[in-house]
Amino acid sequence: MSMREVEEGSVTTPTGYRAAGVACGIKESGTKDLALIVSDRPAAAAAVYTRNRVQAAPIAVDRRHLEDGSAQAVILNSGNANACTGAPGEADAERMCALSARQLGFAPTDVLVCSTGVIGVPLPMDLIESNIAPLVEALSATGGISCAEAMMTTDTVAKHVAVEIEIDGQVVSVGGVAKGAAMISPNMATMLAVVCTDADLPATQLRELLVEAVGRSFNCVTVDGDMSTNDTVIALANGASGVGQRDTPLAKGPARQLYEAMEHVCRHLARAMAADGEGASKLIHIRVSGGGNEDEARQVGLAVANSSLVKTAAFGNDPNWGRILCAMGYAGVDIEPAHVDVALCGTTIYTAGAGASYDAESLSEAMKEKEITIDIDLAMGSATAEIFTCDLTYEYVRLNAEYTT
């Protein structure tokens, strides 16, 4: 079988995982804000974190708990980032792990923790503590979507996906959940994601898969250029499918299939974040080709994606190609403007060092679609990169102007 996306798939699609989401009162709205993902057996575990020098308390805890490369549960809360909360915040993150572990019968170090929301506010631990038992009671093999809902902050949709592949005649699944809508910039974002598989992998190889998949997915999405304090992507592999790829080089055969499944899940979730950017009215898909290497192609794409002028032009359906060229020029890559080609919504707008002839009215109409494309050919080599972002709207300003007030 080829890769197949599972309808309503999530972290609980792979064999041996349960999840749940409940409302514990962290959010004033009364919506779900506490989530739990559990593997029914010990799992190899790996994580990738924000590169922001200011990092939230859960990241410090997760680094310690992952020293042995294994974990069996992840508890997550939304509405409060538990960031810039000092030693008490780190103690609260450890306590979230310990309370979950006690209910599950695990060691505290087998539990990882993630938080997202407002920075600098202590966690309401009384609310969390009183809801751990109900959260564990709610665990279900169909609870992945509820978990995704409980991770949301300013997200407007729950983000979840799963795929199935066949390895050695047996079905292997990879599923994920994520949250993220703003404070999103490469080297991850104000985003959390958990990816689970029932393949049997050692932690070292799982991390290798995860790092490469994140590099081509979550690190290729930007909403507003702000890098968060809490970004975390966690991967678990519990081996429940009975299919193992231990020590198989990543580039070969079945291991490559598994990587492609993980990248598909991460890319789907990253794209969903860009499409759900705060106040966004459209997704912007930037495709860069002809790069001297992948890093250069990505660098140019990100410069265009992070340009407020490009993003506002997209919002206004304005085919102002000068803004795209300007961003390409300051990307820090030695491009030759006379050689590059740029197309917007399939229409060539710049070629041979000058603007191309096009029908501005028709192109403006094409820019009203929910997804628009910007294609850039750097004519420097054969490397490519894809970047996902969104337009910058009045609603983004309103949401972030009133975030805590």
Residues carrying an active site annotation: 190
Task: Phi first, then psi: give them for residue 102, nearest 5 degrees.
Answer: -65, -40
As a whole number of angstroms, the distance between CA 315 and CA 310 comes to 9
Residues paired with residue 160 on neighbouring β-strands, in sequence order: 177
Alpha helix positions (H), 122-215:
125-137, 144-150, 203-215
Residues paired with residue 115 on neighbouring β-strands, in sequence order: 77
Spatial CA neighbour of 258 closest among 246, 268, 273: 246
3-state per-residue secondary structure call for 42-108: EEEEEEEECCCCCCCHHHHHHHHHCCCCEEEEEEEEEEECCCCCHHHHHHHHHHHHHHHHHHHCCCH
As a whole number of angstroms, the distance between CA 169 and CA 192 comes to 33
C-beta separation of 6 from 176 below 8 A? no
Dihedral sign for Cα 277, 280, 282, 286, please: negative
Residues paired with residue 132 on neighbouring β-strands, in sequence order: none
As a whole number of angstroms, the distance between CA 257 and CA 40 comes to 25
As a whole number of angstroms, the distance between CA 261 and CA 347 comes to 32
Spatial CA neighbour of 282 closest among 325, 316, 309: 316
As a whole number of angstroms, the distance between CA 178 and CA 314 comes to 26
